[in-house]
Amino acid sequence: MISLSSYLILGAVLFGLSIAGIVLNRRNIITLLMCVELMLLAVNTNFIAFAHYLNDIAGEVFVFFILTVAAAETAIGLAIIVLVYRNRNTIDVAALDSLKG
Amino acid sequence: MTINMILEQIVFYAAAVTIVFAGIMVIGSRNPVRGALFLVLAFVASAILWILLEAEFLALALIFVYVGAVMTLFLFVVMMLDINLEPMKTRFVRYLPLGLLVMALVLVLVIFAVAPQHFGTAKYAVPQHASASYSNVKELGSVLYTTYMYPFELASVLLLVAIIAAISLALPSSRKRRLQRPGEQVQVKREDRLRMVKMQAEKKILPSRKWLKKR
């Protein structure tokens, strides 16, 4: 029998891995975006596990909307990356310091 | 314990190990192309888990939308950009302790919260398998088009905004694209192309003496 906590622990491991990835690869925007995708995947798995074990379809509807928003986010993020690369010839996060923030 | 339960557990643990391995490879691979391919592996393994959780529609949507569209977009962008990876490699080792520390903190906190004594089978019993006539798509659609009607339409507007934003961001300006402008081409006048120059006639140039002598 697979318990709910098995799914939740898997989601936690995946979430922790993607946080570590964001900390480790903070120079490369593309890897950062991929880590965000991994994070969303962990959250979606949690949502679906709860929807299954609580017998409530609302969790799956949420995942549906999260997928929509994540697709929009990825499309715009990649467009911004292409624009940054076209203007500065690099996607190194450390090189994007012209705002002096 | 029936054979079905054992099979279910085998599938679950195989998919879970695959997801964790793919996640490690995504954050650890030097080449973003390999990272994107391992992300595809993670998505496929997650789709298996979602099917195990009887969310068939979302599992298929994950494959179609993510593996089919989003990851293809990722691969296109990664291969289009000629990225110099050399300066990024050195930082990886430097941040490794910090990354592991953050990950360990998050893991300990969350696993403490979702430990089996809180979310185990005693508290949340494993639900019965749905009958063969159960349709996940029908169930999802029946709430999506009634209870969640406005969020659904908002999501479609969001996608439209994303399309317009992505195209208008990535499209080069019309001057860079060297477009033809037929409207201006057919309206061209003679004055735009031809310049009449009035100038004084110079004095007549005689052939030089050398040339004359030769003859």
CATH of the domain at A66: 1.10.287.3510
Considering chain A, what is the average pLDDT of its residues? 89
Q: Does the residue A65 lie in any domain?
A: yes
Would residue A100 count as lying in a domain? no
β-partners of residue A28 are: A92
Measured from the Cβ of residue B5, the count of other Cβ atoms closer than 10 Å reads 12
What is A59-93 written as a DSSP string? HHHHHHHHHHHHHHHHHHHHHHHHHHHHHHS--BG
Which of A77-91, B153-167, B195-209 comes out lowest in average pLDDT?
A: B195-209
Q: How confident is the model at residue B142 (pLDDT cuts 50, 70, 90)?
A: very high
pLDDT exceeds 70 at position B50: yes
pLDDT band at A77 (very low <50, low <70, confident <90, very high): very high
Yes or no, beta carbons of B53 and A48 under 8 Å apart: yes
Instruction: Give the angle subtended at the CA of A17 by the CAs of A14 and A20, to the nearest 5°.
Output: 155
Counting the structural domains of chain A, the total is: 1
**Per-residue pLDDT tens over the stretch B115-134:** 888 888 888 888 888 888 88
- From the list A2, A53, A68, which residue is nearest B12 (CB)? A2
Region B126-148 average pLDDT: 88
- Let me know if residue A34 belongs to a domain: yes
Residues of chain B found within 8 Å of residue A27, distances taken between Cβ atoms: 87-88, 91
Average pLDDT on B76-81 reads 87
Report ipTM for this prediction: 0.93
Cβ within 8 Å, pair A82-B77? yes
Q: CA–CA separation, B215 vs B202, rounded Å?
A: 26
Whole-number pLDDT of residue A101:
59
Q: Is pLDDT of B207 > 90?
A: no
